[in-house]
Amino acid sequence: MQIQKKIFLIFLITSTFVACTKDDDNDVTPSPTGSVNPRNKFIGNWMCSEESEIFPPTTFPVDIYAHTTISNRIVVSNFYGLGPTQSNCQMEIIGDSITIFQQNVSGHEFIGSGKLLTNSTIRLTYTADDGSGTIDHVVDNLTKTN
Protein backbone atom coordinates (compact mmCIF):
# COMPACT_ATOMS: atom_id res chain seq x y z
CA MET A 1 0.00 0.00 0.00
CA GLN A 2 2.88 2.36 0.82
CA ILE A 3 4.38 1.82 -2.68
CA GLN A 4 1.05 2.63 -4.37
CA LYS A 5 0.83 5.91 -2.44
CA LYS A 6 4.38 6.83 -3.51
CA ILE A 7 3.66 6.01 -7.15
CA PHE A 8 0.45 8.05 -7.02
CA LEU A 9 2.28 10.96 -5.36
CA ILE A 10 5.05 10.87 -8.01
CA PHE A 11 2.43 10.78 -10.76
CA LEU A 12 0.57 13.71 -9.21
CA ILE A 13 3.72 15.83 -8.85
CA THR A 14 4.99 15.16 -12.36
CA SER A 15 1.61 15.84 -13.93
CA THR A 16 1.58 19.29 -12.30
CA PHE A 17 4.74 20.26 -14.17
CA VAL A 18 3.42 19.34 -17.60
CA ALA A 19 2.73 22.56 -19.50
CA CYS A 20 0.01 23.05 -22.01
CA THR A 21 0.68 25.24 -25.01
CA LYS A 22 -1.94 27.45 -26.57
CA ASP A 23 -3.03 26.49 -30.07
CA ASP A 24 -1.92 28.92 -32.76
CA ASP A 25 -4.77 31.35 -33.46
CA ASN A 26 -3.65 32.07 -37.01
CA ASP A 27 -6.40 31.25 -39.45
CA VAL A 28 -4.05 30.06 -42.15
CA THR A 29 -5.34 27.69 -44.75
CA PRO A 30 -3.09 24.75 -45.56
CA SER A 31 -2.48 24.16 -49.22
CA PRO A 32 -3.30 20.74 -50.70
CA THR A 33 0.29 19.65 -49.97
CA GLY A 34 -0.14 20.49 -46.28
CA SER A 35 2.08 23.60 -46.28
CA VAL A 36 0.75 27.08 -45.52
CA ASN A 37 -0.78 28.71 -48.58
CA PRO A 38 1.16 31.85 -49.65
CA ARG A 39 -2.08 33.70 -50.43
CA ASN A 40 -2.91 33.81 -46.70
CA LYS A 41 -0.70 36.87 -46.18
CA PHE A 42 -2.99 38.80 -48.56
CA ILE A 43 -6.25 37.90 -46.82
CA GLY A 44 -7.84 40.55 -44.61
CA ASN A 45 -9.17 44.10 -44.53
CA TRP A 46 -7.22 46.78 -46.35
CA MET A 47 -7.46 50.53 -46.93
CA CYS A 48 -6.90 51.45 -50.57
CA SER A 49 -5.35 54.76 -51.59
CA GLU A 50 -6.09 55.05 -55.32
CA GLU A 51 -4.49 57.30 -57.91
CA SER A 52 -6.27 57.41 -61.26
CA GLU A 53 -5.61 59.30 -64.50
CA ILE A 54 -9.32 60.08 -64.79
CA PHE A 55 -10.63 60.50 -61.23
CA PRO A 56 -9.23 62.49 -58.29
CA PRO A 57 -7.23 60.55 -55.66
CA THR A 58 -9.49 58.65 -53.30
CA THR A 59 -9.35 56.28 -50.35
CA PHE A 60 -11.73 53.42 -49.67
CA PRO A 61 -11.77 50.04 -47.87
CA VAL A 62 -11.33 46.72 -49.67
CA ASP A 63 -11.57 43.18 -48.37
CA ILE A 64 -9.41 40.37 -49.67
CA TYR A 65 -10.46 36.78 -49.16
CA ALA A 66 -9.48 33.36 -50.45
CA HIS A 67 -11.09 32.03 -53.61
CA THR A 68 -13.30 29.11 -52.62
CA THR A 69 -11.97 26.59 -55.15
CA ILE A 70 -8.69 27.85 -56.66
CA SER A 71 -5.85 27.66 -54.14
CA ASN A 72 -3.58 30.34 -55.66
CA ARG A 73 -6.34 32.89 -56.18
CA ILE A 74 -7.72 35.73 -54.05
CA VAL A 75 -10.84 37.84 -54.48
CA VAL A 76 -10.80 41.60 -53.83
CA SER A 77 -14.15 43.20 -53.02
CA ASN A 78 -14.84 46.89 -53.67
CA PHE A 79 -12.15 46.87 -56.36
CA TYR A 80 -11.77 50.23 -58.15
CA GLY A 81 -14.20 51.59 -55.54
CA LEU A 82 -17.17 50.15 -57.42
CA GLY A 83 -18.90 48.89 -54.29
CA PRO A 84 -18.35 45.83 -52.11
CA THR A 85 -21.07 43.69 -53.65
CA GLN A 86 -20.66 44.65 -57.31
CA SER A 87 -16.90 44.48 -57.74
CA ASN A 88 -15.22 41.23 -56.81
CA CYS A 89 -12.00 41.13 -58.81
CA GLN A 90 -10.08 37.85 -58.89
CA MET A 91 -6.29 37.81 -58.79
CA GLU A 92 -3.69 35.05 -58.96
CA ILE A 93 -0.86 34.84 -56.44
CA ILE A 94 2.63 33.46 -57.03
CA GLY A 95 4.85 34.18 -54.03
CA ASP A 96 4.52 37.92 -53.38
CA SER A 97 3.46 38.69 -56.98
CA ILE A 98 -0.10 39.38 -58.07
CA THR A 99 -1.59 38.95 -61.53
CA ILE A 100 -4.82 40.75 -62.32
CA PHE A 101 -5.80 38.64 -65.30
CA GLN A 102 -8.13 40.23 -67.86
CA GLN A 103 -11.70 40.14 -66.59
CA ASN A 104 -14.91 42.11 -66.68
CA VAL A 105 -16.12 43.35 -63.32
CA SER A 106 -19.27 45.48 -63.21
CA GLY A 107 -18.86 46.55 -66.83
CA HIS A 108 -15.16 47.41 -66.50
CA GLU A 109 -12.34 45.44 -68.13
CA PHE A 110 -9.37 45.14 -65.77
CA ILE A 111 -5.85 43.85 -66.37
CA GLY A 112 -2.64 44.45 -64.45
CA SER A 113 -0.25 43.29 -61.79
CA GLY A 114 0.87 43.94 -58.26
CA LYS A 115 3.18 42.98 -55.46
CA LEU A 116 3.09 42.45 -51.72
CA LEU A 117 5.75 44.96 -50.62
CA THR A 118 5.56 44.19 -46.89
CA ASN A 119 3.20 42.11 -44.76
CA SER A 120 0.96 45.18 -44.55
CA THR A 121 1.47 46.91 -47.93
CA ILE A 122 0.36 45.96 -51.46
CA ARG A 123 0.84 47.96 -54.67
CA LEU A 124 -1.42 47.27 -57.67
CA THR A 125 -0.97 48.77 -61.13
CA TYR A 126 -3.70 48.16 -63.69
CA THR A 127 -5.90 49.55 -66.43
CA ALA A 128 -9.65 49.99 -66.23
CA ASP A 129 -11.72 50.21 -69.40
CA ASP A 130 -15.41 51.01 -69.02
CA GLY A 131 -15.99 50.93 -72.79
CA SER A 132 -16.27 54.72 -73.13
CA GLY A 133 -13.09 54.96 -75.21
CA THR A 134 -10.90 56.29 -72.39
CA ILE A 135 -8.72 53.77 -70.57
CA ASP A 136 -7.87 54.63 -66.97
CA HIS A 137 -4.36 53.84 -65.70
CA VAL A 138 -4.54 53.22 -61.96
CA VAL A 139 -2.13 52.71 -59.05
CA ASP A 140 -3.54 51.37 -55.78
CA ASN A 141 -1.56 51.36 -52.55
CA LEU A 142 -3.21 49.08 -50.00
CA THR A 143 -2.46 49.14 -46.29
CA LYS A 144 -3.65 46.30 -44.08
CA THR A 145 -6.02 47.39 -41.32
CA ASN A 146 -6.37 44.10 -39.39
What are the pLDDT digits (tens) for 34-90?
A: 567 788 999 999 999 999 999 999 999 999 999 999 999 999 999 999 998 778 999
The 10s digit of each residue's pLDDT in 16-29 is 444 443 333 334 44
**What is the reported pLDDT for 25?**
36
- Which of 96, 84, 80 lies closest to 45 in space, CA to CA? 84
Residues 86-96 as b or e (16 or more Cβ within 10 Å = b) = ebbbbbbbeee
Domains of the chain: 38-144 (2.40.128.420)
Asked whether residue 7 carries a pLDDT value surpassing 80, the answer given is: no
Asked whether residue 146 carries a pLDDT value surpassing 50, the answer given is: yes
Q: DSSP code of 9?
A: H
String of DSSP letters for 117-143: EETTEEEEEEEEE-SSS-EEEEEEEEE
Burial category of 124 from C-beta neighbours within 10 Å (exposed 0-12, middle 13-18, buried 19 and up): buried
**What is the reported pLDDT for 2?**
62
List Cβ neighbours of 101 (8 Å cut-off, separation of 6 or more).
90, 91, 92, 111
Burial category of 9 from C-beta neighbours within 10 Å (exposed 0-12, middle 13-18, buried 19 and up): exposed
**What is the reported pLDDT for 17?**
42
**What is the reported pLDDT for 85?**
79
The 10s digit of each residue's pLDDT in 103-124 is 999 999 999 999 999 999 999 9
Q: What is the pTM of this model?
A: 0.75
